[in-house]
Structure 1
Amino acid sequence: MEEKRVQEISSNVLDTIPAEYIRSEKEQPAITTIHGVVLEVPVIDLSDSDEEKIVGLISQASKEWGIFQVVNHGIPNEAIAKLQEVGKEFFELPQEEKELIAKPEGSQSIEGYGTRLQKEIEGKKGWVDHLFHKIWPPSAINYQFWPKNPPAYREANEEYAKRLHPVVDKMFMYLSLGLDLEPNDLKNGAGGDDLVYLLKINYYPPCPRPDLALGVVAHTDMSAITILVPNDVQGLQVFKDDHWYDVKYIPNALIVHIGDQVEIMSNGKYKAVFHRTTVTKEKTRMSWPVFLEPPPEHEVGPIPKLVTDENPAKFKTKKYKDYAYCKLNKLPQ
């Protein structure tokens, strides 16, 4: 086992947490959150018959916020509920059973059950355990990292992946049209039909000192887009106008994050959202983000049509695997 799991620590501590989970004062949520205000990020109804209106709203949200929620997205509530149910059941299994799909020791692979994800500044840790595995395309899937238990796990995840496809295609299309590009330009820029759907299940157990700890430290996603469903426990925070705010979640909505690769492809017109996760004292928070990522060897850079003499390229073109390596190891891009 790579290290002690947060779930295990949570079940053994009563009123304190280990020092490595206590954030510095400039990060502690009790000090840095604007309390009593819940940020209402844009909510966009995908069933609206006015496509131009949807494009305008998504484009505006992506430029000003980097995050929005979509409702009437076409994924049945039952498919989302089943995804959440089997994920929760996995994390409630005995520890030794979860360890069967742990990330291999010393592996560079991100897939598997684990606790540590990236280089941690000052040795500080997030109050979270996780499970990563790819759910699309079939050629990228490694079932070694899919739980065998609960038995319905595979079926629920495959159904969710299938239902997610049209939503993903719509998001890329609307984002492209919002920049006066061809409908497929951003999707093709991110890898086209070889786009990788990487699922992460975040498990944030109850924390005796939620005022001092963070679930996930402040970051932008290195994906192109992230599409996320949480459970009903508050935890997502967004940095806006130099302050941290809780985000109001709409039941059965999908939360869409603009990631680094769309910011790069749009040459900075769309902004990757700077966000973090808080934890609570009594309840377990969980979330199911799907990171839509270019294949490792695929090169991503600003879309040529968006680069002009007046607006030169703001980002380098590089292979996604090289970008990811620098990001995870806190190296300059």
Structure 2
Amino acid sequence: MTAGSGALPGPVRVESLAASGIATIPAEYVRSEDECASLADALDAAKNLDAGPQIPTVDLAKIRSTNEEERRSCAEVVREAASNWGMMQIVNHGIPQELIKRMQEAGERFFSLPIEEKERYANDQSSGNIQGYGSKLANNANGRRAWQDYFFHLVYPEEKANYSIWPKEPANYAEETKEFVRQLRPVVSNILAILSAGLGLEEGKLEEEVGGMSDLLLQMKINYYPPCPQPNMAVGVPAHTDVSALSFIVHNMVPGLQAYYAGEWVTVGCVPDSIIVHVGDVIEILSNGRYKSILHRVLVNREKVRISWSVFCEPPPDKIILKPLDALVHEGSTAKFPPRTFAQHIDHKLFLKSEGPQSTPK
């Protein structure tokens, strides 16, 4: 295993490392030997998708069908996907592809700016300011970093967004991003309603429990993964579960996302015009484990830039106590999670990371 050595000064952007022509990655980016055993170039990992299981694809047009059987069948596919995979790809979601393309082009143009231009929007993670342009830093005892730069900002409700930190270049960034999120918001409600019904609850129950239209926060993170000279030694995102209620992801059709399913890392295929939906920890808690927050990670590759737009749907930090819903806790089905606020849940997960290297499935 060969890698560079020495501490990295200041905020080092992964984009700079990739553009420098290095043949070996700095030691801070090299994963543990156990983790490396399961890593590969993302483009190679995606070559044999037909040989194994794939996350379900859900046609949301069927949930709007006048045919009751089609609606029931679609809802069942969503329930099974959330129960078995904790992840699905949705198509015919109702968001125009032209809008998604414009939003993506705006984000791509931001990341194509010179680094010194992007640095005008840099965040300061040491002071707790996580919104803005940054790079994924190590947040656990092993001190390893991820091969990723990003731009992170709260995008909904609009009255809570801080538009002063949003990119001013390209000029249409805010317009396209805001319109995408406006049209994503009813899709969020739709998925929550289907998941509620799948638990035998009223359709509005889960949305109510995570804050409803006024308090559910949508945070967008544009993830930028440049080519990596040693993709079998680095990751774009290490194995984790999302703390959010739901996460919605669009990407530039470059593979990299993997889900840990049935004891194996499964590469997620790139389905045209789809949005990937993750069940997060919050929904797993509320459903008392009936819906799964699946372990997932992102591989990198030697040749292509991968960009993804992740929208995390989060309850307010301290306003709501998250716990298994009373209707799902009964004799023979005790509560599997202690009551916590969302902020306390995040602190708990950060504490677990700080304890030391986490066991990562191979």
If the length of structure 2 is used for normalisation, what is the TM-score? 0.87
Q: Quick one: which amino acid aligns to residue 306 of structure 1? A: L
Of residues 166, 170, 182, the one that matches 1:162 is 182
Runs of 5+ in structure 2 lacking a partner? 1-8, 355-362
Equivalent-residue separation in structure 2 for 1:329 and 1:93 (angstroms): 36
Trace 1:110-259 onto structure 2 (pairs within 5 A): 110-116=130-136, 119-193=139-213, 194-259=215-280
Residue equivalent to 1:4? 12
Q: Judging changes above 3 Å, is the alpha-carbon distance between structure 1 residues 166 and 256 closer, same or farther for their aligned structure 2 residues?
A: same
Q: Quick one: which amino acid aligns to residue 325 of structure 1? A: D
Q: Quick one: which amino acid aligns to residue 272 of structure 2? A: P
Q: Per the alignment, in what secondary structure is the counterpart of residue 266 of structure 2? A: strand
- Once the two structures are superposed, what CA deviation does each residue of 1:93-140 show, in whole Å capped at 9, x if it has no partner? 111221111113522233111113561341111000011101101232
Q: Per the alignment, in what secondary structure is the counterpart of residue 311 of structure 2? A: strand
Trace 1:101-116 onto structure 2 (pairs within 5 A): 101-104=121-124, 106-116=126-136
Q: Judging changes above 3 Å, is the alpha-carbon distance between structure 1 residues 128 and 105 closer, same or farther for their aligned structure 2 residues?
A: closer
- Once the two structures are superposed, what CA deviation does each residue of 1:155-208 show, in whole Å capped at 9, x if it has no partner? 011110111011111000000000000101111111112100000000000101
Residue equivalent to 1:307? 329
Of residues 305, 325, 328, the one that matches 2:347 is 325
Q: How many residues align structurally?
A: 332
Cα offset, 1:302, TM superposition: 1.0
Residue equivalent to 1:271? 292
- Once the two structures are superposed, what CA deviation does each residue of 1:247-275 show, in whole Å capped at 9, x if it has no partner? 11201101000000000000000000110
Cα offset, 1:58, TM superposition: 0.5
Deviates more, 1:159-168 or 1:96-105: 96-105
Q: Per the alignment, in what secondary structure is the counterpart of residue 278 of structure 2? A: strand
Equivalent-residue separation in structure 2 for 1:164 and 1:201 (angstroms): 16
Of residues 20, 24, 33, the one that matches 2:32 is 24
Deviates more, 1:110-119 or 1:283-292: 110-119
**RMSD of aligned alpha carbons:** 1.9
Cα offset, 1:52, TM superposition: 1.4
Residue equivalent to 1:52? 72
Equivalent-residue separation in structure 2 for 1:330 and 1:291 (angstroms): 21
> Percent sequence identity over matched residues?
42
Q: Quick one: which amino acid aligns to residue 15 of structure 1? A: A
Asked if the contact 2:85/2:294 (under 8 Å) is kept, the reply is: yes
Asked if the contact 1:110/1:117 (under 8 Å) is kept, the reply is: no
Deviates more, 1:192-201 or 1:6-15: 6-15
Structure 1 stretches of 4+ moved >4 Å: 31-36
Equivalent-residue separation in structure 1 for 2:163 and 2:350 (angstroms): 24
Cα offset, 1:329, TM superposition: 4.2
Equivalent-residue separation in structure 1 for 2:192 and 2:201 (angstroms): 11
Residue equivalent to 2:3? none
Deviates more, 1:8-17 or 1:274-283: 8-17
Equivalent-residue separation in structure 1 for 2:322 and 2:270 (angstroms): 32
Deviates more, 1:163-172 or 1:137-146: 137-146
